[in-house]
Amino acid sequence: MKGIILAGGTGTRLKDLTKVTNKHLLPVYDKPMIYFPINTLKCADIDSILVVTDKRRTTDFLLLLGSGSDFGVRFTYALQESAKGIADALSKAKDFVNNDDVTVILGDNIIFGDIKELKEPLNKSCRIFLKKVEDPERFGIAYVKNGIITKIVEKPKQPKSNLAIIGLYQYKSNVFDIINNVKPSKRNELEITDVNKYFLDNDDIEYKIIDNDWIDAGTIESLFKANEMERKFKATDKYSY
């Protein structure tokens, strides 16, 4: 199993904070945001990690992370030339992944604690991770019936499920063939939702519901909340890292 951290994008939802830096380098209390996805992969015994970022900030990531020796992992780096979507960023990892399975995490997804399910072998070509939330209209949502995903809807206005699809995915290497056939969305991006829907339509998807504390720190409010969460957990030693 190899790991990929997608840390590109323009960070427009964080406005002035990302004018001179990549959002994944912003502080979350006592550490840079990208340390959290690194830890998630490390806890799953994944030590070969590709960081996909934008060309403006590559040097910053290299200065912060280096080879990975300080973290007990090996970092490789790849560039996403322009912000054309999560699936486009993932496509940059094809040569790195080769024929291995891969765990993909978005760099602004902060997950506290160990996710033991990441270590389980894939039974399907795609595994998505779900979290029960109070505001499902903000997220891609999975509808589950009798233990099977029946539908995936992106930010439904009147959601009938509270199972948010978090930015953590696992794939077999055939995911790159699927990305090659995905058409750009109205935003002119290659959407990871369309990739996952392909696997859903072909009965080649599974899921895990996590109980971990989790937050997508990609907005001003959620970044502030992430800082509060990390500060609280640090004070109580709820998590060891």
User: Tens of pLDDT along 99-158?
Assistant: 999 999 999 999 999 999 999 999 999 999 999 999 999 899 999 999 999 999 999 999
First to last CA, the chain: 22
DSSP label of 227? H
Q: Give the residue, 238 or 208, on which the prediction is more confident.
A: 208
In a 3-state reduction of DSSP, which class is residue 15? helix
pLDDT band at 13 (very low <50, low <70, confident <90, very high): confident
Average pLDDT over residues 180-201: 94
| Percent of the chain's residues with pLDDT above 70 | 99
Q: Give the residue, 55 or 122, on which the prediction is more confident.
A: 122
Contact 59, 48 (CB under 8 A): no
99: CB partners within 8 A, 6+ apart: 173
User: Tens of pLDDT along 167-189?
Assistant: 999 999 999 999 999 999 988 99
Average pLDDT over residues 24-31: 96
User: Is the pLDDT reported for residue 82 higher than 90?
Assistant: no
Q: What local confidence, expressed as pLDDT, does residue 83 receive?
A: 82
Amino acid at 18: T
> Closest by alpha carbon to 68, among 52, 37, 47?
47
φ, ψ dihedrals at 13, nearest 5°: -70, -15
Q: How far are the Cα atoms of 17, 42, 79, 80 from residue 58, in angstroms, in the given order?
A: 18, 22, 8, 10
- CATH class of this structure's domain 2-236: alpha beta
Q: Give the residue, 240 or 121, on which the prediction is more confident.
A: 121
Mean pLDDT (the chain) is 94
Contact 226, 217 (CB under 8 A): yes
Domain ranges of the chain: 2-236
Amino acid at 180: N
User: Is the pLDDT reported for residue 163 higher than 70?
Assistant: yes
pLDDT band at 241 (very low <50, low <70, confident <90, very high): low
| Percent of the chain's residues with pLDDT above 90 | 85
User: Is the pLDDT reported for residue 11 higher than 80?
Assistant: no
Burial class (CB in 10 A: 0-12, 13-18, 19+), 162: middle
